Chains A and B, each alone.
Chain A
Amino acid sequence: MDIKKAFVFPGQGSQYPGMGKDLYNKYPTARRVFDEADEALGFLLSKLCFEGTDEDLQLTENTQPAILTTSVAAFRVLEEKGCLPDFVAGHSLGEYSALVAAGSLNLRDAVVLVRQRGKYMQEAVPVGVGAMAALLGLESERALAVCAQAAGNQIVSAANLNSSSQVVIAGHREAVERAMALAKEAGAKRAILLAVSAPFHCVLLQPAADRLKNDIDVCAFADLRFPLITNVDAKPIETADAARNSLERQVTMPVRWQESVQWMLDQKVRTFVEAGPGKVLLGLIRTADKSVGMFNAEDEKSLENAFSGLHNQQFA
């Protein structure tokens, strides 16, 4: 029987200096992806990925197109070798990469769109007003309760429901700090303030969502060639309208990653490939099910490993 595969696409935080360079040097297909992104953006994003410093890459309007382009480059190489998924899903920004992979959004539109997205998110909340924190070792329900209790007349809410023991929260800095203290009292192993410049996936980002909508309005979207499990609903979508809708709501709503992974596992997905920098998502999937096959795809070595692994599975 054919084993069902899902490709997952990383979000912010997975970037590292030099990412994608090996892809660019080894695969003409990947090179075309970077060249196209450079041209669409009007500056050398490729150079930023390959030679930029941590600081360059941390600027969110750089991070977003950089991760997307690296992810799409890895995907295109997989595709060229005949590796295609049954489902795709992406974490936050990764949902854009997943839509490019699914043929719903073209690369040129996508890189420009996520650069704007980064800019809008950054500008929605003045620096220092918002914050994000990871709560580790606390169940989702407890984390939500902690947020409700800590909010007061400010905002703090779940931003990423990543796994059974990892929830990222976002909101006003003081409220986030209150939630961190409460989380520890409630039994969290750790509460870590994240080095981000804005509070993503909470209602403070409504201005960004409004601005992004105008950009999405004038981008071409097509129906998807494979179903995508959305961040906002943890359910599959296949149409252009649903894709736009999901991207718009995503800005102010939590990423329901744990449920998305569970949905795919319930559909008998037994192999996950993380296309793009890092292995963060595979780590989260592992906490849900240790027995599934996992491959990352970010350079020649990992890709070759993925090809042979996927090939062996197919004929096992």
Chain B
Amino acid sequence: MIKIAVDAMGSDHSPKVEVDGALDAAAEYGVPIVLVGHKDKLRPLLAQRDMTGLSVDVEHASEAVTMDDSPTTAFRRKKDSSINVAAQLMRDGKVSGVVSAGNTGAVMATAKFVVGALPVVDRPALSTVLPTQKGRPAILLDVGANVDCKPHHLEQFAIMGDIYSRTIFGIRRPRVGLLSIGEEDTKGNELTKEVFKSLKRAPINFIGNVEGRDIFKGEVDVIVCDGFTGNVVLKLSEGLYETFIEMLRHELKQTLTAKLGSIFAHNAFQQFKRRLDYSEYGGAPLLGIKGITIVCHGRSNSNAIKNAVRVANEFCKHNVNHAIELEFNKLGLTKAAKAN
């Protein structure tokens, strides 16, 4: 029986968006939910909603990690934090997955320390989903779980990303690309050149190097990079989007014709925003950890939480971890194999 824990205390608008999103998910997908957070804050919100037919429990956690807490102190000092309690529920087999919109570093550290990586995986990777011109999302990993990577780490990321794309997005042979600074295999740094060779041999649809500008075009389904690069890409994209929207908003107020134009183009702008809406894609799964942990944006709305629960549910249903273990064993990518 799949059951998903939702950390209700993490986001900028907690716990309202978490409660709403979790309940919407329970209603829409029929997945049982455990809301983890301070019961005095959760009960009044639950009382406002119609809970008929929904399986929703509350697990009390007296503390909450803030965005300012450092990952390790959060984990060590706040023993009864909602994210810690949620991770413990998963460790003890009481839930199959965890969704949190809290402090990303703290969520990752807690998942690693409390739940642990799959035995075959060296380094878990945080993967995110980006909108593309073609309308289909592209997976980028790692976006921040590992700032320094060895070639075999990236090889593992590629295999995990491939499995993620196949099982969750239903693409039979996802196009996997290696993020570099030129298409030719001779371009890049020592890390990417080494990875290029091993991905060429890997049983995936490896299309070679891709450049930063290719990410959003929709011609590649899985983009592999180290966590340092991935995080820069992610933050740059978010920043560019926000800046672009602000600049556009500013310019559209400058003259009367621009104002009129913006009224006529209102639907187009709404549609544009909808296409770039991160909330449809359901957060960033931490691949390679036991169970499944999905990290959502701190600014998540209830739709983002709902979709993260959906993705967590699908991860469990399709047994993605089992697929990762099978594939790693088959390819001899496991830690044990490398030791020999």
A220-B205 contact, Cβ under 8 Å, with A40-B134, A106-B136, A108-B135: no
A244-B172 contact, Cβ under 8 Å, with A217-B205, A218-B221: yes
Q: CA separation between A169 and B60, bound complex, in Å? A: 69
B172–A216 CB distance below 8 A: yes
B170–A106 CB distance below 8 A: no
Q: Is A219 an interface residue (CB 8 A)?
A: yes
Q: Is A221 an interface residue (CB 8 A)?
A: yes
B172–A106 CB distance below 8 A: no
- Most chain A beta-carbon neighbours within 10 Å: one of B134, B136, B170, B173: B170
Q: Is B175 an interface residue (CB 8 A)?
A: yes
B173–A220 CB distance below 8 A: no
Q: Chain B binding site: helix, strand, loop or mixed by DSSP?
A: loop
B172–A109 CB distance below 8 A: no
- Using a CB–CB distance below 8 Å, which chain B residues touch chain A? 134-136, 169-175, 205, 221
Q: Is A280 an interface residue (CB 8 A)?
A: no
Q: CA separation between A36 and B268, bound complex, in Å? A: 12
Q: CA separation between A217 and B205, bound complex, in Å? A: 10
Q: What is the minimal beta-carbon distance from A220 to any residue of chain B, in angstroms? A: 5
B136–A108 CB distance below 8 A: yes
- Most chain A beta-carbon neighbours within 10 Å: one of B134, B135, B136, B174: B135
- A106 contacts across to B, CB distance below 8 A: 135-136
- B136 contacts across to A, CB distance below 8 A: 106, 108-109, 220
Q: Which A-B residue pairs are the 5 nearest by beta carbons? A: A217-B173, A108-B135, A221-B170, A240-B170, A217-B172
Q: CA separation between A112 and B205, bound complex, in Å? A: 20
Nearest B-chain residue to A240, judged by Cβ = B170
Interface string of A34-65 (1 = CB under 8 A from B): 00100010000000000000000000000000
**Contact among A108, A240, A244 for B134, CB-based, below 8 A:** A108
A218–B170 CB distance below 8 A: no
Q: How many residues of A contact B (CB 8 A)?
A: 15
Nearest B-chain residue to A219, judged by Cβ = B171
Nearest B-chain residue to A28, judged by Cβ = B267
Q: Which of A227-243 contact B (CB under 8 A)?
A: 240
A220-B170 contact, Cβ under 8 Å, with A106-B136, A108-B135, A108-B136: yes
Q: Which of A196-255 contact B (CB under 8 A)?
A: 216-222, 240, 244
Q: CA separation between A222 and B172, bound complex, in Å? A: 11
- A220 contacts across to B, CB distance below 8 A: 136, 169-171
- B172 contacts across to A, CB distance below 8 A: 216-218, 221, 244
- B171 contacts across to A, CB distance below 8 A: 217-221
Q: CA separation between A36 and B133, bound complex, in Å? A: 12
Nearest B-chain residue to A39, judged by Cβ = B135
Subset of 14 A-B contacts with CB under 8 Å? A40-B134, A109-B135, A109-B136, A217-B172, A217-B205, A218-B171, A218-B172, A218-B174, A219-B171, A220-B136, A220-B169, A220-B171, A240-B170, A244-B172
Q: What is the minimal beta-carbon distance from A218 to any residue of chain B, in angstroms? A: 6
Q: CA separation between A106 and B172, bound complex, in Å? A: 15
Q: CA separation between A106 and B136, bound complex, in Å? A: 9
